Amino acid sequence: MWIFYGNVNELGDASGSPRKSFLFFLTDCHREIRLPGDTVQCLVEQDTSVLSGALSTVLENPRNAGGASGVAPLDIALEVAEETGLPVMAHLDNPPPSRLEVLARLRRGDVLTHCFRPFPSAPVKEDGQIREEVLEARRRGVIFDIGHDSGSFGFRTAEAMLTAGFLPDVISSDVHALSIKGPAFDQLVTMSKFLCLGMELIDVIRASTAAPAAALGRTDIGRLQIGAVGDATVLELAEGDFEYRDVLGEARTGRQRLNARGLVVTGGWWYPPRA
């Protein structure tokens, strides 16, 4: 698939399930590129298990697809998504494209990540009011994902959103080489930041398990029930004084922190391999 320049990541399931999920990263787009039918067909035929039942392919418009290309990479991703019946995952970063250009294009079931980012492209105005295009996107059924990252989560933005009753649908860390040593660190630290901000524990857990599974159309993960894969994380809710920082370096002190105490994979305890 030449329009993706080989940036295709295959995501394996911890359960060893034969189903596969793929992330297609559209990293560049010439202004004259069009999406011919045979290109879409190539995507569909790449692995039929991806398209059977659940929607488990996500197309993202990453940050280096902006600039001179503007919103064109997202338009191409949406065209592929329309042909395949799959959701698109887009993010907000330094414009272009603008927040309005991205949000106006997203459909019910599409995912907007970095949704609580600070300026620029923050979802709230300086007075703390949520922007109308953000509210309209939620009414339309767009899924809002945190995607903490190294530059995409601000406490002041999050506080304004939560005060207005706008909770994230999905909480994710977006951990990579630039964020794993801070400020995101890992999923549990990201979840703990929302406890610090006053979000209820049950809502934090749901936004980190069942909600992202639902966004992918997966009923076999993210929940404990008959027919699920039997994966679970055993957590401790520790009490104390814990400092958390956002991507701007602003700090908040919380009284709770989630710590991992064990993993269950396909119904059995998982032990890390010995060195």
- pLDDT per position as a tens digit, 199-211: 999 999 999 999 9
- pLDDT per position as a tens digit, 84-109: 888 889 988 888 889 999 999 999 99
Question: Could you tell me the residue ranges of all domains in the chain?
Answer: 2-223
- The residue among 16, 18, 86, 24 whose CA lies nearest residue 54 is 86
From residue 146, give the alpha-carbon distance in Å to each of 3, 94, 167, 191: 27, 16, 10, 10
Q: What percent of the chain has pLDDT over 70?
A: 75
Region 59-74 average pLDDT: 61
pLDDT greater than 80 at residue 242: yes
- pLDDT per position as a tens digit, 133-184: 999 999 999 999 999 999 999 999 999 999 999 999 999 999 999 999 999 9
Q: What is the pLDDT of residue 61?
A: 42
pLDDT greater than 50 at residue 17: no
Q: What percent of the chain has pLDDT over 90?
A: 57
Region 222-251 average pLDDT: 94
Residues 128, 97: Cα–Cα separation, whole Å: 23
Region 191-196 average pLDDT: 98
- The residue among 97, 49, 55 whose CA lies nearest residue 72 is 97
Region 223-248 average pLDDT: 94
Q: Letter for the amino acid at 132?
A: E
Q: Which CATH superfamily is domain 2-223 in?
A: Metal-dependent hydrolases (3.20.20.140)
Region 3-21 average pLDDT: 36
Q: What is the pLDDT of residue 93?
A: 85
Q: What is the pLDDT of residue 150?
A: 95
pLDDT greater than 70 at residue 247: yes
Region 212-231 average pLDDT: 90
pLDDT greater than 50 at residue 187: yes
pLDDT greater than 60 at residue 28: no
pTM: 0.81
- The residue among 262, 221, 110, 208 whose CA lies nearest residue 102 is 110
CB atoms within 10 A of CB 67: 12
Grade residue 2 by pLDDT with cuts at 50, 70 and 90: very low
Q: pLDDT higher for 114 or 11? A: 114
Grade residue 54 by pLDDT with cuts at 50, 70 and 90: very low
Q: What is the pLDDT of residue 85?
A: 85
Long-range contacts of the stretch 123-132 (C-beta < 8 A, 24+): 123/99, 123/157, 123/161, 123/166, 124/157, 124/160, 124/161, 124/164, 128/160, 128/163, 128/164, 129/160, 129/164, 130/160, 130/161, 130/164, 130/166, 131/99
Q: pLDDT higher for 42 or 24? A: 42
Q: What is the pLDDT of residue 108?
A: 96
Region 232-259 average pLDDT: 97
Q: What is the pLDDT of residue 152?
A: 96
The structure tokens 């290309």 sit at 69
